[in-house]
Amino acid sequence: MKLNLDCCRDILLTIEAQTERMDMQLYDFLKLLPQYSELEIEYCLEKLYEADYIHLTCEPFSNSSSELIIISIEDLTFQGHEFLENIRSKNVWDKTKNICGNIGSFSLDVIKTVATDIITNLISQHLNI
């Protein structure tokens, strides 16, 4: 399955926007992000968890399966907060996606690197360095 990066970003923004420390369920994301399918959201949650960007509770689908069932989504990790800060700005996000599209690489590590470089360049321009 293809990773929907806009969905990943929106999930991170949604988790961060929660004003109370309470676990979220998959159906919460389905209500809050109706532009994405359940499969897209679930897949992005799994990949964000694997990248250590979110804390979630999951359990095996069955004793013999490596497939997981997501029980609850708890919070962003420190790495998740840092990644989100790099892609928060719509301007930076759009530039990042454009550059990644031109080079043909959309891994989360590449996205983080490109976004960081864009921000560094914006800071340099702002400071006239």
Q: What would the pLDDT profile of 73-92 be if each residue is shown by its tens digit?
A: 889 999 999 999 999 999 99
The answer to whether the CB of 99 falls within 8 A of the CB of 111 is no
**What does the block give as tokens for 7?**
């969905």
* Residue 88: C-alpha distances to residues 8, 94, 97, 115 (Å): 12, 10, 13, 10
Confidence (pLDDT) at 22 = 74
Q: Render the burial of 108-122: b for 16+ CB within 10 Å, e for the rest.
A: beebbebbbebbeee
Query: DSSP label at 52?
Result: T
CB atoms within 10 A of CB 58: 15
More confident residue, 77 or 25: 77
* In the chain, where the domains are located: 5-77, 89-126
Confidence (pLDDT) at 32 = 95
State the chain's mean pLDDT as an integer.
Answer: 89
Query: DSSP label at 34?
Result: T
Confidence (pLDDT) at 120 = 93
| pLDDT tens profile 26-37 | 889 999 999 999
Judge: domain 5-77, CATH 1.10.10: yes
| pLDDT tens profile 109-119 | 899 999 999 99
